[in-house]
Amino acid sequence: MKIQDIQNDIIDEFSMFEDWEERYQYMIDLGKTLPLIDPKYKTDDYLIKGCQSKVWVHANMENNKIVFTADSDAIITKGVIAILIRVFSNQNPSDIIEANTDFIDNIGLKEHLSPTRANGLVSMIKQIKMYAIAYQTQLN
């Protein structure tokens, strides 16, 4: 599935909820479905800088697609990274690099996060794109 299609699905899913309390609960539920990161990647080397809570992201290249795993010690943040992993995992590096993240504004996520969590969201996206750039370089 293409990144834009996944983003559109997420926009549709979030539009089904009446208020942000329901959306937060949905994000918490998404966080519970996040594939487990191998404990060996829960180190400072994989920690996202700029997040209020701890978020670890690991990337691995499989069949020219990047597979991400992640975890967080905070339930809302774990839901946020679960959304990003859903969008960007199993995609090729160039598509990740070129992808826009307008869907975050479309679902209203950034405006409903605290300023420190919103900064963390930006840091998560930046790290995902940095992994993609690194893997793209290896492919060239």
Where are the domains positioned within the chain? Answer: 3-139
Please report which residue ranges of 16-74 form alpha helices under DSSP H.
20-32
Residue 137 above 80 pLDDT? yes
User: What is the chain's mean pLDDT, rounded?
Assistant: 94
96-125 pLDDT tens trace: 999 999 999 999 998 888 888 888 999 999
**Share of residues in the chain with pLDDT > 70 (%):** 100
What length does the chain have?
140
Q: What is the CATH number of domain 3-139?
A: 3.90.1010.10
**Residue 127 CA, distance from chain mean position:** 10
Q: Could you give the residue numbers annotated as active site? A: 51
